[in-house]
């Protein structure tokens, strides 16, 4: 699909240049805008990358080219995507971006998937002077690096865990158990959760890390079940999110609050667990098609283009918001990357998921949020000012 999409874009580029033959003085300006990225199409990152990120890149390029091209300071220019499979390997991802920015000298870049990959390539963005809008990275360490060309669109661990703990406290939870993947994402979110719990009155009765690629979580789930916590929190990746949910059902562990992380907001989760089985499950999520008219239009366009494949209700929205920001930045500043960076850094951006503005690398415009499956839709349930539905404060039995 990616190769055919690139051919379509190149064909569109040729058609656009041909159409402008009556204006020779514009031809030099009207060549394609070359935009590069690396994305997991194989390996363990593929599930998240091919739900939350690459489909959005392809949809965006198609929509821009169908409208005559990307508006580059008043001149429409077709988009040419130059993309590679990073094979879910940090080293491959780094080498690819070094090639794209250093030797290929593409006009712009789009971010890879996941906290680990973005952590590795973030310094390159600063060294080569390419604005990076990262929709799937959660890392306080990335914020603390103070890289002026790097922007994180998702809410970071502290706002997300603060929202979760506030919701649990308001709902009367007193005890909590946590599992977390033993990598940057899991470790940072676990550390933020411990801070958020201080003074909350909620006691953590068990906490366990697990290695990436885990195949069996039932022993730790049985141990947690024995502690009978009010809430379960998993800082998990998509395969682990589904594994933990299936095995919790198998061992009969059904706390009032069951919260998992990456993948909970995916259509795949609802399909695998069934709508009834997913009912009441909480997770990281920030939007759905009710959030704004733009969100509804995006949701419908994505679902139509990809044959019923829905965007996820968390990072997909952040990814599209980042593309909206980039589109506006290029319309205003052309391909001057320093001017784009300054525009991104200094502007409050209206997006499908709400107002985004940055303090350094961090998005401080949109709040930390909690989502919940209700009647087949992943609703935003916390905080109340952005909620699309009221929280169900007691998860029903697994179905």
Residue 277 vs residues 193, 214, 263, 292, 327: alpha-carbon distances, Å:
26, 22, 15, 28, 39
Look at residue 21 and tell me whether its pLDDT is greater than 60: no
- 10 and 127 together in one domain: yes
Structure tokens, 286:
């920030």
Would you say 192 and 163 are in contact if contact means Cβ atoms under 8 Å apart? Answer: no
* 398 domain residue, yes or no: no
* 335 domain residue, yes or no: yes
CB atoms within 10 A of CB 124: 21
State how far the Cα of 134 lies from the Cα of 150, in Å rounded to an integer: 8
- 61 and 143 together in one domain: yes
- 215 and 334 together in one domain: no
Give CA angle at 333 (328, 337), nearest 5°: 100
- 273 and 162 together in one domain: yes
User: What is the total count of domains within the chain?
Assistant: 2
Whether the model clears a pTM of 0.85, i.e. scores above it, the answer is yes
State how far the Cα of 278 lies from the Cα of 270, in Å rounded to an integer: 6
R_g (Cα) of the chain, nearest Å: 21
* 276 domain residue, yes or no: yes
Would you say 138 and 156 are in contact if contact means Cβ atoms under 8 Å apart? Answer: yes
Q: How far is CA 173 from the centre of its chain?
A: 28
Residue 284: closest CA among 324, 318, 333: 318
Look at residue 96 and tell me whether its pLDDT is greater than 60: yes
Look at residue 191 and tell me whether its pLDDT is greater than 80: yes
Q: What is the pLDDT of residues 173-189, one digit of tens each?
A: 999 999 999 999 999 99
Sorting pLDDT into bands at 50, 70 and 90, what band is 3? very low
* 200 domain residue, yes or no: yes
pLDDT the model gives residue 2: 37
pLDDT the model gives residue 9: 44
Mean pLDDT for the chain overall = 92
Q: Which of 21-35, 265-279, 305-319 has the lowest mean pLDDT?
A: 21-35
Region 77-87 average pLDDT: 98
- 114 and 90 together in one domain: yes
Sorting pLDDT into bands at 50, 70 and 90, what band is 26? very low
Beta bridge partners of 76: 71
- 257 and 358 together in one domain: no
* 395 domain residue, yes or no: no
State how far the Cα of 58 lies from the Cα of 87, in Å rounded to an integer: 19
pLDDT the model gives residue 138: 87
Residue 311: closest CA among 28, 57, 3: 57
Beta bridge partners of 349: 356
- 267 and 207 together in one domain: yes
Domain that holds residue 125: 2-156+290-363
Region 49-54 average pLDDT: 96
Q: What is the pLDDT of residues 205-237, one digit of tens each?
A: 999 999 988 999 999 999 999 999 999 999 999
- What CATH number does the domain containing 218 carry? 3.40.50.2300
* 187 domain residue, yes or no: yes
* 185 domain residue, yes or no: yes
Would you say 209 and 182 are in contact if contact means Cβ atoms under 8 Å apart? Answer: yes
pLDDT the model gives residue 149: 98
Region 111-119 average pLDDT: 95
* 399 domain residue, yes or no: no
Look at residue 25 and tell me whether its pLDDT is greater than 90: no
- 167 and 297 together in one domain: no
The 3-state secondary structure of the chain, one letter per residue = CHHHHHHHHHHHHHHHHHHCCCCHHHHHHCCCEEEEEEECCCCCCHHHHHHHCHHHHHHHHHHHHHCCCEEECCEEECEEEEEEECCCCHHHHHHHHHHHHHHCCCCEECCCCCHHHHHHHHHHHHHHCCCEEECCCCCHHHHHCCCCCEEECCCCHHHHHHHHHHHHHHCCCCEEEEEEECCHHHHHHHHHHHHHHCCCCCEEEEEEEECCCCCCCHHHHHHHHHHCCCEEEEECCHHHHHHHHHHHHHHCCCCCEEEECCCCCCHHHHHHHCHHHHCCCEECCCCCCCCCHHHHHHHHHHHHHCCCCCCCCCHHHHHHHHHHHHHHHHHHHCCCHHHHHHHHHHCCEEECCEEECEECCEECCCCCCEEEEECCEEEEEECHHHCCCCCCCCCCCCC
Q: What is the pLDDT of residues 136-171, one digit of tens each?
A: 998 889 999 999 999 999 999 999 999 999 999 999
- 187 and 336 together in one domain: no
- 240 and 377 together in one domain: yes
pLDDT the model gives residue 118: 96
- 10 and 75 together in one domain: yes
- 41 and 69 together in one domain: yes
Q: Give the percent of the chain with pLDDT over 90.
A: 90
Look at residue 99 and tell me whether its pLDDT is greater than 90: yes
């Amino acid at each position: 699909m990616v190769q055919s999409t690139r051919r379509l874009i190149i064909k569109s580029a040729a058609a656009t240049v041909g159409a402008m033959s009556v204006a020779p003085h514009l031809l030099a300006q009207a060549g394609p805008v070359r935009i590069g990225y690396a994305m997991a199409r194989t390996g363990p990152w593929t599930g998240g990358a091919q739900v939350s990120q690459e489909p959005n890149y392809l949809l965006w390029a198609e929509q821009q080219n169908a409208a005559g091209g990307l508006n580059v300071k008043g001149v429409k220019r077709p988009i040419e995507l130059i993309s590679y499979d990073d094979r879910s390997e940090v080293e491959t991802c780094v080498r690819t971006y070094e090639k794209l920015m250093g030797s290929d000298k593409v006009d712009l870049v789009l971010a890879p998937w996941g906290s680990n990959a973005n952590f590795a390539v973030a310094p390159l963005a600063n060294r080569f002077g390419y604005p990076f809008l990262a929709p799937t990275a959660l890392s306080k360490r990335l914020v603390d690096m103070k890289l002026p060309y790097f922007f994180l669109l998702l809410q970071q661990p502290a706002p997300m865990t603060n929202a979760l703990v506030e919701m649990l406290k308001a709902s009367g939870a007193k005890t909590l158990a946590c599992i977390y993947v033993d990598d940057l994402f899991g470790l940072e979110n676990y550390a933020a959760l411990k801070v958020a719990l201080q003074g909350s009155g909620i006691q953590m009765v068990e906490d366990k890390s697990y290695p990436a690629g885990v195949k069996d979580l039932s022993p730790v789930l049985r141990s947690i079940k024995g502690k009978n916590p009010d809430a379960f929190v998993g800082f998990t990746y998509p395969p682990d999110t589904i594994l933990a949910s299936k095995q919790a059902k198998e061992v009969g562990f059904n706390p009032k609050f069951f919260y998992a992380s990456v993948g909970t907001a995916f259509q795949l989760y609802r399909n695998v667990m069934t709508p009834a089985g997913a009912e009441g499950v909480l997770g990281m999520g920030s939007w759905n098609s009710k959030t704004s008219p733009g969100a509804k239009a995006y949701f419908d366009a994505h679902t139509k283009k990809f044959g019923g494949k829905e965007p996820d209700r968390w990072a997909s929205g952040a990814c599209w918001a980042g593309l909206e920001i980039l589109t506006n930045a290029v319309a205003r500043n052309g391909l001057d990357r320093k001017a784009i960076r300054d525009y991104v850094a200094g502007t409050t951006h209206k997006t499908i998921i709400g107002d985004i503005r940055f303090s350094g690398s961090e998005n401080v415009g949109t709040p930390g949020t909690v989502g919940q499956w209700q009647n087949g839709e992943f609703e935003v349930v916390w905080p109340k000012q952005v909620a699309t539905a009221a929280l169900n404060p007691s998860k029903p039995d697994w179905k």
